[in-house]
Amino acid sequence: MKHNTAGFRFYQELNDFLKPCRRKHQFIYYFRGNPSIKDAVEALGVPHTEVDLILVNGTAVDFSYRLSQGDRVSVYPVFESFDISGVTRLRKQPLRDTRFILDVHLGKLARDLRMFGFDTLYENDYDDPEIVRLSVEEQRIILTRDIGILKHSEVTHGYWVRATHPGKQLIEVMQRFDLYSQCRPFTRCNVCNGPVEPVKKGAIRHRLLPKTREFYAEFFRCGRCNRIYWKGSHYMRMSEKIRNVLESVSISGKKRYIDDVPGKRVEDDTIKPALHR
C-alpha cells in the first residue's frame, strides 16, 4: 500500500515530546490508510492529554478526524490561561476545581502542592491503573514523569512534568495551570492531604510539649490524620518558600504562550481562519 503524507507542526511545549529534527517547524508525516488524528499525534510521541486544539487545513477538528493525503496539521497545547471557546476544544473546559493525583516519582512535589493548599493525592504504591481510575472518578489532573500513562484512552486531564528538581517542578506546575490566584497555603495537611482547620488550644493541650504549650497560642489540626500544627520556626521557613515561589510565578507565569496564543503572533497562519470566523 502506498504511503500518504501530511504536514505536521507542533507548538510550544508539545515539542518536548518530539525528536529534535521535528521540533518547532513543519515536517512530513508518512502514514497508511486513514488513521485518526489522535492515533497520529500519539504515534509521534505526544500524549493526547497535552493537546487542546488541532487545526487541519485551517479548521478545528476533534480526535476522531481521519487523516487524509495532503492534510496540513497544526497541534496546540492545553490553553489553561486563555479562552479559545470559539473553536473546537478537544476536552471540556480546564478543571477549575483544581485537584491532582501524582505518580510515584513526584512525592516531594505532592507535599509542596499540599502546602499551597491544593487537593493532591499521592501514595508511593499507586500503580498506573489506580491512578487512571482515581483521575477519572474524582476529576483529578494526573501529574507524572511517565509519558506512557498519559496515552491511556480514559485519561482526560494530565501533564508530563518536565523538570526533575522538586523546586523547579513546583514552579512549572504553578505556571502550567495558572495556579497563582488559587493558592490557599496551609489549609491541607502536608502528610495526608486532609483539610487543616483551627482548633482551640484547650482541646489539644494534652498533646503538646511543655514549651509548645507555653510559647504558642494558635493551633491547627488535620481533620483526617489528627496532626497538630502551629506557627513555629518550620512555619516561618515554609512561608518564606511560599513567598519566593509566588513571586517567581507572578513574574514569569503570565508570559507563557504569549507568542503562540490564538490571536497573538503565530508562526502558522492556519490558525487564523478558525479563530476569527
CB-CB neighbours of 243 under 10 Å: 11
**Section 128-144 average pLDDT:** 96
| Domain locations in the chain as residue ranges | 4-93, 95-256
In sequence order, which ranges of 78-226 are alpha helices (DSSP H)? 107-115, 128-138, 147-150, 166-176, 201-204, 210-215
Task: Give tens-digit pLDDT for 102-112.
Answer: 999 999 999 99
Mean pLDDT of 131-145: 96
Nearest to 184 by CA among 76, 269, 264, 99: 99
Q: What is the pLDDT of residue 268?
A: 39
Per DSSP bridges, beta strands 4-10 and 72-77 are: parallel
- The C-alpha atoms of residue 213 and residue 194 are separated, in whole angstroms, by 24
| % of the chain surpassing 70 pLDDT | 83
Q: 180: pLDDT confidence band, cut at 50, 70 and 90?
A: confident
Crossing angle for the helix pair 107-115 and 233-252, to the nearest 10 degrees: 90
CATH 3.10.20.30 fits 4-93, yes or no: yes
Check pLDDT > 50 for residue 269: no
User: What pLDDT was estimated at residue 134?
Assistant: 97
| pLDDT at position 34 | 93
Residue 79 pLDDT level (bands cut at 50, 70, 90): low
